[in-house]
Chains A and B, each alone.
Chain A
Amino acid sequence: MDTRIAGVPTWLALAAASWTPWAAVGQEYHVDLDAPRRVVFISSATLDDFEGVTESIDGYVLLDGSGVREATGLAGTEMYFEVDLASLDTGIGLRNRHMRDNYLEVEEHPFATFSATVDAIRGAEDGFVVSARGDFTVHGVSRPLSLSCRATPVAERFRVRCSFPVRLEDHDIEIPRIMFMKLAPEVRLELEFTLEPVAS
């Protein structure tokens, strides 16, 4: 039987009615530049422990239309973060120059970036644990990286905390071995920032 609604075949009308394109548009979150941000690398070397700190992190997370909820096997998600390396402050201005020029070579490689997809979002006591897999790039050298970050809801926003180790030689960052071991072979990166939803 060829039933029609307003002159349109029923199957076509139902298909059109169930087509919810706006719900399928991704929910995008940006780093909230007005909220506190902090990126720290911690180097624990034999004779010289020090940290480098910056607040210059920016980026986004793009999820599907359902936003942040417990899920696995997510498809079509993206995330990208970048840290302005020239802004890193070790607490000693003359050492900053040393680090920028000799180790990170920021003139050629100004940003450290993490470009990834979201693998899973799991519930946690204070919100969610977001697992992502992608490429971490620093000093112009990319390496695969899987990491988990905690995302704590704050109204419509999420306070995000991540921590992971980075082996400097994996990114062709030279480690001085003369006189003093000033930079540890492996540094720990700790990131804290807020993601805010962006209107579609």
Chain B
Amino acid sequence: MSRTRTARRPLPAAAGTMILLMAATTALQAQDRPQWERRSAATEVGPTVFHATRGLNLPTAVTAGGGEFLFEISHRFVPAISDEGTFLGLDGPVRYRLGLAYGITDRVMLGLARSNLDDNLDLEARVRVLERGGALPLQVALAGGMAWNKEVGGLEGSSTQYHASLILNAGLGDRVAVGVVPVFLSNPLVRVDGEESLLSVGLHGQVYLTEMVSLVGEWTWTDESEELPYDPVSLSVELETGGHFFRVGVTNSVRLNPSQHPAGAANEFKGDELRLAFNISRVLAF
């Protein structure tokens, strides 16, 4: 039986509508992509400049995290490394500092530290007030506090001291951090009458050689005095292990607390005057 090819008839209007509807819903299915969209941006973290809350002596704009305690013990050996019979000065005597700081928030830290030099008890608050990332990361902090000296023989004046610092830190690339720390200190020499106040400027830099090892250099320009005629200088190596820090180095100063260090050093920073120094700080999180 032969078939006769006939002309194609147009679709009825209703059929056309249904096909269009099916096509439309098919298109909708093809667009059936998730409605989900990211609802919050990645957490922004502050810039990294210095890693620790201080170098060998000079403070940084870093503070302990909110709710964290930071324990510190530091030693400065009084005999010079070159002094005979003192085992590089380690036989002592020694000036030490015991400190405990607490992060009230991630930006505010309160610390209490005792140095056995003059039985100096220092209470200090530090607030990081500004930080900026980018090519030249910056952090700025303010610090201030007061100290009481309980063992100062023959003291006629006040044993109380006040200090205030502006801490300016900047990062130079990923591996170098530098800082400037102008310090105002009242009653810098508690054993000497007439020394009302001084202004010193600390300069420090740190080179992060690896993720654990870095080199630290510090120099504090200060007013000369008869008792402390030299600027404190130090060079040290820092080891960082997950938020804990160990520093060992050489310095010409054995004055450890914020109300002591800016006043100057009794010895010159040169070969036969250098003293061994070390700091250990450890975060205590409960």
A12 within 8 A of B: yes
Assign chain B's interface to a size class: 35 or more
Contact A60:B34 (CB < 8 A) given known A91-B285, A93-B243, A95-B242: yes
The residue in chain B whose Cβ has the minimal distance to the Cβ of A99 is B242
Let me know if B36 and A6 touch, CB within 8 A: no
For residue B36, which residues in chain A have a CB less than 8 angstroms away from its CB? Answer: 28, 30, 59-60, 80, 198
Interface residues of A in 153-191 (CB under 8 A from B): 176, 178-180, 182
Which secondary structure dominates chain B's binding surface?
loop
What's the least CB distance linking B21 to chain A, in Å? Answer: 7
Let me know if A176 and B211 touch, CB within 8 A: yes
For residue A106, which residues in chain B have a CB less than 8 angstroms away from its CB? Answer: 42, 45
Assign chain A's interface to a size class: 35 or more
The residue in chain B whose Cβ has the minimal distance to the Cβ of A30 is B36
A21 within 8 A of B: yes
For residue A198, which residues in chain B have a CB less than 8 angstroms away from its CB? Answer: 35-36
For residue A93, which residues in chain B have a CB less than 8 angstroms away from its CB? Answer: 64-66, 68, 103, 106, 243, 283
Which secondary structure dominates chain A's binding surface?
mixed
Residues of B at under 8 Å CB distance from A?
12, 14-15, 18, 21-22, 25-26, 28-29, 32, 34-36, 38-40, 42-45, 48, 51-52, 62, 64-66, 68, 103, 106, 210-212, 239-244, 283, 285
Let me know if A48 and B242 touch, CB within 8 A: yes
What's the least CB distance linking B139 to chain A, in Å? Answer: 12
What's the least CB distance linking A128 to chain B, in Å? Answer: 20
Q: In the bound complex, what is the Cα–Cα distance between A92 and B106 (angstroms)?
A: 11
What's the least CB distance linking B173 to chain A, in Å? Answer: 13
Q: In the bound complex, what is the Cα–Cα distance between A56 and B29 (angstroms)?
A: 31
Q: In the bound complex, what is the Cα–Cα distance between A110 and B14 (angstroms)?
A: 54
The residue in chain A whose Cβ has the minimal distance to the Cβ of B24 is A21
- The segment out of A67-75, A81-89, A119-127 that lies at the interface is A81-89
The residue in chain A whose Cβ has the minimal distance to the Cβ of B22 is A19
Let me know if B29 and A28 touch, CB within 8 A: no
Q: In the bound complex, what is the Cα–Cα distance between A182 and B26 (angstroms)?
A: 55
Let me know if A180 and B15 touch, CB within 8 A: no
Beyond contacts A13-B18, A99-B242: 12 other A-B pairs, Cβ-Cβ < 8 A, are A6-B14, A7-B12, A8-B15, A9-B15, A28-B35, A30-B36, A58-B39, A78-B34, A84-B43, A93-B103, A94-B51, A111-B42
A146 within 8 A of B: no
Let me know if A182 and B241 touch, CB within 8 A: yes
Let me know if A8 and B243 touch, CB within 8 A: no
A-B contact pairs, 18 of them (CB 8 A): A7-B14, A13-B18, A19-B22, A21-B26, A21-B29, A25-B28, A58-B39, A92-B68, A92-B283, A93-B68, A94-B243, A96-B243, A98-B243, A100-B45, A176-B212, A178-B212, A179-B212, A182-B242
For residue A110, which residues in chain B have a CB less than 8 angstroms away from its CB? Answer: 42-43
Let me know if A58 and B38 touch, CB within 8 A: yes
A133 within 8 A of B: no
